[in-house]
Each structure stands twice: as C-alpha cells, then as structure tokens.
Amino acid sequence: MSVPFREATIDMDAVADNTRHFRRLTGAEVIAVVKADAYGHGAAASAVAALSGGATRLGVADITEALSLRRAGITAPILAWLHAPGQRFDEAAAGNIEFGVSSFDQLEAAGVVPGGNVAVHLKLEAGLSRNGIAPSDWGRVFAEAARLERIGRIRIVGLFSHLSNTSPADDREALARFEEGTAAAASAGIRPEIRHIAATAAAIDLPETRLDAVRIGIGLYGLSPFDDRSSAELGLRPAMTLRGAVAAVRRVPAGAGVSYGYTHRANHDTTLALVPLGYADGVPRHASGRGPVLINGRRYAVAGRIAMDQFVVDVGDAHVAVGDEVVLFGDPTLGVPSATEWAHAAGTINYEIVSRIGSRVPRRNG
Ligand SMILES: Cc1ncc(COP(=O)(O)O)c(C=O)c1O
C-alpha cells in the first residue's frame, strides 16, 4: 500500500478508551470537550467515539460548533460557553444546545427565547479572569436566574468554572471561590443538576475538583497536560499520527545550503529528503532545525527552515527513497516522536500542535 502524501490518522478506539479511563478514574460524568474540531481530530467522529467510551455530554466553545455537531447527527447534550457580543440563543435553543451564561446580558438573552425552558450552565469567575460571572454580580444574576427558572423561561442545569492550572494551591483557592459561588446560588434557590470545574489536569491531580462532572479535552486525545508526565504514564494513548511520504530525494555535496536562509548547510556529502508538510499544514515554523521525524525506523531532525508546504530532512548516507513514510508524531510507545516533542521543539504546548493541523491534511479514522 502506498504511503499517503500527507495524512493524519485518528485512532478513534484510543479516544473511546481514553474517555473510559477518565470515567473510571474520576467516577464523575465526563463532558467530552470537542471544540476546535476536537483539537484537530475531527469533532463529530471524536464526539461519537467519546460518547461510546462513556461521555454523556459534549463541550464546545461556541454555538456554531455546537450546531455543526447537531447537523452531523449528534443528539447528546452539548454545552457551548463562549458567545459573540449580543448573541441571541433562539436558533441554538431550537437545536437543544445548552448555554454557558457568563453575564447578566446573556442570562436575559436566554430568558427571552421563544418557548422557554432553555438549559443553561451559569459560569462563575473563580480566578482565571476570563468570562465567568464576577463575584460582584453573583447576587443580581442568581436572583434573576432563579426568577427565570421559576417562571419556566430557563432550566439551570449546571454551575461551572475553569481552573488556571497554575499550582495546586491556586486551583484549590479557585475551587474555594467557586464553592462560595455555589453556596450563594443555593441561597438564591438555585439547585443545579451538576457542578463542574475540572479539565484534564485537575481531574487527574486534584480529586477534590472532580465534583459532579469533569470537562476533558486534551486527555481524550491521549496527550498529557503535564510537562513531567507522558501519555503512557497517565494511562492514555495518543490518538493522532501525522505522516507524509518523502516527495523528493537529492544527493548534495558538502556545503550545500538547505531551505530558506540556508540556516542549515550540509557538513559533508549527504542525502536530503523532502517532506510535503509545512506551516500551512500546522507544522510549526518555530520547530525549524529541531522538529523530530522518523523515516525507515530512524529518527532525524528537520534540517533548516520549515516552509509553507514542505521541509527537508538530512538523512546522511541512509537509504531513503521517494515514497518512503515519514512520521512526524504519534504514539511514542510505538517508537515514533510525540506531539509533545514537537511542542518542545517549537516552544509551545501539545494542544497547539494537534489543534493547528491544517485542513489540507486529510484525516483518516483508524
Ligand atoms: C472551559 C473549558 N473547559 C474545559 C477545557 C478542556 O481543557 P483540557 O483540554 O485541558 O482538558 C477547556 C479547554 O481549553 C475549556 O476552555
């Protein structure tokens, strides 16, 4: 079978197994976070896999993402938490989407949807300084939310927040602030079905944050949110493998420049292999000269600059032919580089590596 020109293979069994792992580990409801096209893995297929692994709700950033899952035939509850200024919820409520509500204005918008009974999760600011309801607004928002629920306009399904992962002490402080918020909501008569604050890192390391549900993103895709622990050490399996086929091979003399700016020159007569993936495909230019690849069982680093569509690997005197497989990253227990190594090479995090793999790279579900 010939090697694909460019391809990201997604192991959907890994997504299902990773979901199962979090169900077992936490004992809480798993909200599968499939925003940003499931961190590049394909939103609908990843949602199906996560639901088969025991997730019972999906999380996305915005309503457009939520509605595209509905159009793909996903019927599970979906929570969307980041809204456009002046967002109206009518169309999405008709699609049975649940809304994160982060302000009085958003609450009012949820309260006027025709038909009422709009499912909301009130999002509380607990330290991250992003879009939750500020503690100074809790009294006013909770009173109005309780009133809207009493008259059947909304249904308060959840109370939630998000952690900074700065340190266990910072996250415990945020949890304490969230608990003050849930107590204030209770005093206003709000009895949510679920409270949720933990994403992958806290769900693993801070059991007290698991509450009723955990929102798992990176862990579903088998990647570690920690610098000091690998996927395997966490019992997770990376789902995405990024590969391509060697598109050209050239023998060059010592001193030959390689790619834009000649930041790499051949030390001696050598063979260069051209890989047809570049920064337009999400291969980070910042990993120029460093990003790891595996060709015919041997590891090499990118030579010179990563260009828009391609990069070069200096394979020395190894025999490499046009059409040979080049693996950029996958499951490192299988001997290939990891997305985390690419992240380190580019000075970023594995989240960014997988979620930026471009639309020009076909996804194949394995
Ligand atoms: C509100 C919210 N919850 C959960 C997650 C999932 O986080 P992680 O991928 O670390 O599990 C995210 C992702 O950034 C998020 O924004």
DSSP states along 225-263: S-SS--TGGGT----EEEEEE--EEEEE-TT-EESGGG-
Question: If you search the block for the tokens 């896999």, which residue do you land on?
Answer: 49
Closest atom, ligand 1, to C-alpha of 100: 1
Rounded CA-CA distance 7/243 in Å is 5
Confidence of residue 156 (pLDDT cuts 50, 70, 90): very high
Which of 91-95, 116-120, 168-172, 312-316 has the weakest average pLDDT?
Answer: 91-95
Global confidence as pTM: 0.97
Q: Is 35 a catalytic residue?
A: yes
Catalytic residue, chosen from 123, 260, 262, 351, is: 260
- pLDDT at residue 361, as a whole number: 98
Q: Whose CA is nearest to atom 6 of ligand 1?
A: 217
184 pLDDT band, cuts 50/70/90, is very high
How many whole angstroms separate alpha carbon 30 and alpha carbon 212? 9
**Helix 138-150 / helix 168-187 crossing angle, nearest 10 deg:** 50
What pLDDT shows up at residue 3?
A: 95
- Residue with the smallest CA separation from ligand 1 atom 8 is 217
**Looking at ligand 1, which atom is closest to the CA of residue 225?**
10
Residue 3 CA, ligand 1 centroid: distance in Å: 34
Q: What are phi and psi of 67, to 5 degrees?
A: -70, -30
CA of 263 to the centre of ligand 1 (A): 37
Is 123 an annotated catalytic residue?
no
pLDDT digits (tens, 9 = 90+) for 61-116: 999 999 999 999 999 999 999 999 999 999 999 999 999 999 999 999 999 999 99
Q: Which of 277, 285, 267, 265 is nearest to 347 (CA)?
A: 285
Q: What share of the chain is helix, strand, coil (3-state, %, to 5)?
A: 35, 25, 40
Q: Work out the mean pLDDT of the chain and round it to a whole number.
A: 97
Q: Please write the tens of the pLDDT for every residue from 327-366.
A: 999 999 999 999 999 999 999 999 999 999 999 999 999 8
Q: Find the DSSP H helices in the chain.
A: 12-26, 35-39, 43-52, 63-71, 90-94, 104-111, 138-150, 168-187, 200-205, 339-346, 350-355
Task: Enumerate residues lining ligand 1, CB below 6 A.
Answer: 33, 81, 162, 199-201, 215-219, 225
Q: How confident is the model at residue 1 (pLDDT cuts 50, 70, 90)?
A: confident
**Distances in whole angstroms, Cα of residue 234 to Cα of each of 22, 47, 223, 228:** 10, 22, 9, 11
**Closest atom of ligand 1 relative to the 201 alpha carbon:** 10
Alpha-carbon torsion 166, 171, 173, 175, what sign? positive
Nearest CA to ligand 1 atom 2: 162
Q: Which is catalytic among the residues 35, 39, 221, 300?
A: 35
How far apart are the CA of 361 and the centre of ligand 1, in A? 24
Report the share of the chain in percent with pLDDT over 90. Answer: 99
Residue minimizing CA distance to atom 13 of ligand 1: 217
Task: Return the pLDDT at 366.
Answer: 85
Residue 193 pLDDT > 90, yes or no? yes
> Does position 254 have pLDDT exceeding 80, yes or no?
yes
Q: Which of 43, 27, 45 is nearest to 35 (CA)?
A: 43
CA distance 30 to 20: 9
29, amino acid identity: E
In this prediction, residues 106-133 reach a mean pLDDT of 96
| Residue 219, both tokens | 């862990």
